[in-house]
């Protein structure tokens, strides 16, 4: 018999324990890489309630309480586990899914991938000021950033950070506020500076390299792919910034009361889609956005075209229908070639319509 169940990893990814404790008015102080407060479950003057930032679990060294965000909701609201899961899922806007033999098989196929998740530091929700900064920096609508933040796809974090052998995280002396694109699976995360500057990486010879984005984890995981089960149509983009731009443009051109289009991002054109991610695309209509990449002078190949060919072959083998949309030949108002989906979002709705580029987000076979 089929039963409806919630994805617990998705709930924990969208509702961070620290965020929920903050909503309940619990005040913390930092102690190393952890956060410490007076326990909400017993009276004490010296804080012994500790939230471990690396795994989003808490432990009170006074009364012995320990648990995650679901356990906290159960204890603080006197709920059963089933009631807590349902209420948190509703808060995170997560719908239950039917637990069928087919779903169970897909879950079992994902397990090896889950066991190799990268070690990531604690992420914080974007503040209103962060959202405003990011919107101005990249030309996004603040509403698009807020929506994706609510879906557990965009966060904030001081970066770079490193984990010691003892399991503690420490911030590099040059760590800076950064925005992070990830998803509730936490299989991969991409960090970029909130001020738009590149990261500086010291090489062994003492010189520095500059990188615009720092990716940690498995780049073969398409960010957001585990959340597409309720969507028939997928807009596949390349890069964390294009994920936000794609979401913004989808909502600008498509009536979301219909079957809906969801953006998914590969974090690097040179990567293949991981075998654990491919089952999510079965039965979907996928449109790949081709960045306007230059031709490699040595090989004569174009990175975005090679990526599209590679992903198309994989997606078709997984049971998806695939087509591509190229951004080549389009110019920005200042005459520069338009490079990617983020550049397209900068043009605005009217300019996109005049260029006919709105077809990239419409003409789906609904």
pLDDT tens by residue, 176-216: 999 999 998 888 999 999 999 998 876 666 677 788 999 98
- Domain locations in the chain? 3-97, 112-366
Asked if pLDDT for residue 111 goes beyond 50, the answer is no
Predicted local distance difference test score (pLDDT) of residue 31: 75
Predicted local distance difference test score (pLDDT) of residue 33: 63
SS3 content of the chain, % helix, strand, coil (to 5): 35, 25, 40
Environment class of 87 (CB within 10 Å of its CB; exposed 0-12, middle 13-18, buried 19+): middle
Q: What is the pLDDT of residues 33-52, one digit of tens each?
A: 678 889 999 988 888 898 87
- Measured CA to CA, the distance from residue 18 to residue 358 in angstroms comes to 40
Report the mean per-residue pLDDT for the chain: 84
Contact 227, 151 (CB under 8 A): yes
Asked if pLDDT for residue 84 goes beyond 70, the answer is yes
Q: Would you place residue 255 in the very low, low, confident or very high pLDDT band (cuts 50, 70, 90)?
A: low
% of the chain surpassing 90 pLDDT: 39
CATH architecture of 112-366: 3-Layer(aba) Sandwich (3.40)
**β partners of residue 34:** 31, 52
Q: Choose the weakest-confidence range: 30-34, 83-87, 174-178, 242-246.
A: 30-34
Q: Is 174 helix (H, G, I), strand (E, B) or coil?
A: strand
Q: Which residue has the higher pLDDT, 144 or 260?
A: 144
Predicted local distance difference test score (pLDDT) of residue 115: 35
Q: Which residue has the higher pLDDT, 353 or 92?
A: 353
- Ranked by mean pLDDT, which of 84-93, 161-170, 274-283 comes out on top? 274-283
**β partners of residue 310:** none
Q: Would you place residue 107 in the very low, low, confident or very high pLDDT band (cuts 50, 70, 90)?
A: low
Output b/e per residue, 114-133; b: 16+ Cβ within 10 A.
eeeeeebbbbbbbeeebbeb
Environment class of 268 (CB within 10 Å of its CB; exposed 0-12, middle 13-18, buried 19+): middle
Predicted local distance difference test score (pLDDT) of residue 114: 47
Say what the pTM is: 0.69
Residue 5's nearest CA partner among 76, 74, 106, 77 is 106
Question: Which residue carries 């699976």 as its tokens?
Answer: 185
Cα 162 to Cα 30, 165, 178, 273, 360, distances in angstroms? 17, 10, 15, 27, 40
Q: Which fold has domain 3-97?
A: DNA Primase; Chain A (3.90.580)
Q: What is the pLDDT of residues 313-331, one digit of tens each?
A: 999 999 999 999 998 888 8
Across 245-267, average pLDDT: 83
Identify the H or E element spanning 77: helix 69-77
């Amino acid at each position: 018999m089929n039963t409806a169940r919630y994805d617990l990893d998705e709930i924990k990814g969208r509702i961070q324990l620290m965020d929920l404790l903050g909503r309940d008015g619990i005040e913390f102080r930092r102690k190393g890489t952890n956060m410490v407060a007076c326990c909400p479950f017993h009276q004490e003057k010296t804080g012994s309630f500790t939230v471990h930032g690396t795994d989003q679990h808490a432990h009170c060294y006074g009364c012995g309480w320990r648990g995650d965000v679901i356990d906290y909701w159960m204890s603080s609201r006197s709920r059963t586990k089933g009631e807590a899961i349902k209420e948190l899922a509703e808060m995170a806007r997560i719908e239950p899914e039917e637990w069928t033999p087919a779903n169970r098989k897909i879950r079992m196929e994902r397990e090896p991938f889950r066991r190799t998740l990268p070690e990531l530091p604690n992420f914080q929700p974007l503040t209103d000021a962060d959202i405003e900064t990011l919107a101005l920096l990249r030309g996004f609508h603040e509403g698009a950033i807020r929506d994706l933040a609510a879906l557990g796809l965009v966060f904030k974090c001081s970066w770079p950070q490193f984990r010691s052998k003892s399991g503690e995280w420490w911030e590099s002396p040059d760590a800076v506020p950064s925005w992070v694109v990830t998803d509730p699976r936490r299989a991969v995360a991409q960090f970029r500076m909130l001020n738009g500057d590149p990261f500086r990486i010291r090489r062994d010879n003492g010189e520095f390299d500059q990188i615009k984005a720092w990716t940690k984890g498995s780049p073969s995981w398409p960010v957001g792919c585990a959340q597409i089960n309720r969507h028939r149509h997928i807009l596949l983009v390349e890069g964390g910034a294009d994920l936000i731009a794609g979401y913004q443009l989808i909502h600008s051109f498509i009536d979301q009361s219909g079957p809906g289009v969801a953006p998914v991002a590969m974090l690097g054109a040179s990567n293949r889609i991981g075998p654990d991610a491919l089952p999510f695309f079965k039965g979907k209509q996928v449109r790949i956005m081709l960045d306007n990449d230059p031709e490699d002078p040595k090989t004569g190949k174009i990175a975005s075209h090679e990526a599209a060919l590679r992903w198309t072959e994989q997606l078709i083998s997984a049971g998806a229908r695939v087509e591509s949309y190229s951004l080549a030949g389009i110019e920005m108002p200042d005459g520069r070639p338009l490079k990617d989906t983020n550049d397209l979002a900068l043009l605005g709705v009217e300019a996109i319509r005049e260029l006919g580029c709105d077809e990239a987000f419409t003409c789906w076979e609904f």
